[in-house]
Chains A and B, each alone.
Chain A
Amino acid sequence: DTAVSQTPKYLVTQMGNDKSIKCEQNLGHDTMYWYKQDSKKFLKIMFSYNNKELIINETVPNRFSPKSPDKAHLNLHINSLELGDSAVYFCASSVRTDVGYTFGSGTRLTVV
């Protein structure tokens, strides 16, 4: 009965590969997000979706493409992976930003 679940938890891949991370929430929230946490633990927003509609698209390389098939799911596809993409990627959801988020457990991506 996990509220926000991400898969996979760990992802090790070679440079140049394409990979996807999946996120699902069962909280009935309308808004979902992707955040990147770098090696210095800095959390930075990448995308937000409200009811399947893209709301925020921060300055992220266009190799990153989010997809929301329905309001309970937000997936992240990454093309042509680079060493600098290594980080922990967190999915989150909320009723509204001003009441805070529930985070998923994170996906640790390592590009070698």
Chain B
Amino acid sequence: QKEVEQNSGPLSVPEGAIASLNCTYSDRGSQSFFWYRQYSGKSPELIMSIYSNGDKEDGRFTAQLNKASQYVSLLIRDSQPSDSATYLCAVTSGGGADGLTFGKGTHLIIQP
């Protein structure tokens, strides 16, 4: 049974600080890793993907992957109130039509 674990939160971070979101996964064969953002009542939106160990930066977002520890994280720098949302970690072991396995999400609150 493939599992993806996230702390459900809420995680409260002051505006302008760095928000750090963490995720662990059980399937060592996992190859592709994603972070989705979901605002209340909306659909998930892909914000980051990462495939190899190390860091990947995109604007204020940095994804970090450590396959040996089966750990993925997302850092959000200069957090804004608009970053308040649920962040979903997702992993897959294959390409093709294999599905993504999602964690239950971390609810992030950025306090003005």
Contact = CB atoms under 8 A, between A and B. Distances in A.
Interface string A80-112: 000000000010000011111111111000000
Contacts, number: 70
Interface in B86-106: 86, 88, 92, 94-102, 104-105
Interface stretch (B17-25, B41-49, B52-60, B72-80): B41-49
Contacts of B96: 31, 50, 55, 96-97
A27 interface: no
Identify the interface centre among B42, B45, B46, B100: most chain A CB within 10 Å of its CB: B100
Nearest to A106: B43
Interface magnitude class on chain B: 20 to 34
Interface magnitude class on chain A: 20 to 34
A101 B92 CA distance: 12
B32 interface: yes
Contacts of A48: 97-99
Identify the interface centre among A40, A45, A55, A101: most chain B CB within 10 Å of its CB: A101
B43 A56 contact: no
B105 A56 contact: no
A41 B97 contact: no
Contact of A98 (B43, B94, B101): B94
A102 B43 CA distance: 9
Interface of B: 31-32, 34, 38, 42-46, 49, 51, 86, 88, 92, 94-102, 104-105
Interface of A: 30-31, 33, 40-45, 48-50, 55-56, 58, 90, 96-106
